[in-house]
Amino acid sequence: MTQLDQCALKARNKLVAMFLLLFAIDATLVFMAQDRWAIGRILLTIVVMYFVLQGRSWAKWLLMSICSLVFVVLITMVVGLSSKLSTTLVVGSLIMAVLSAIIPIYMATNKDLNRYFIYKRQTYSQSP
C-alpha cells in the first residue's frame, strides 16, 4: 500500500477523537479530585498515544494495557468508594471506564485502523 485510503484515515481519526474525549474527561476528573499525581499518568498516556499514531507496535500494546488497567482500577474504585465520592466523580469515572474499554477493543479489532498502523510502520522503516 503506497498511500492510505479514506477508511484507514477515518479509523485513525475515530481513535484520536476517542482519545481526546478520554483525555478531556480524565483531566476534568483529575482537576475535580485535585489529584496531582495523576497528571504524570496523563502525560505518559499522551506520549504513548503519540507513538501509537506513529505506528509503533510496542506503543499500541502499551496503550491497550494502560487502558485495560485504567478500566479495572476505575470500576474497582467506583464499586469500593462510591459512597465516599461525589455523583459527578462516579458518573465521570464510569464514562471514562467505558471509553477505556472501548479504545483497546477498537484498536485490536478494527481492520482499517490496523491497515493504518501497518502503513505507518512501513513508512517508518523506509525512512532514512
Q: Where are the domains of the chain?
A: 6-126
Contacts of 64 (CB under 8 A, 6+ apart): 103, 104, 107, 108
Rounded Cα distance, 45 and 55, in Å? 15
pLDDT of residue 1: 44
Per-residue pLDDT of 22-64, as tens digits, reads: 999 989 888 888 878 888 888 999 999 999 999 899 999 999 9
Categorize the per-residue pLDDT at 69 as very low, low, confident or very high, splitting at 50, 70 and 90: very high
User: Cell digits for 74?
Assistant: 476505575
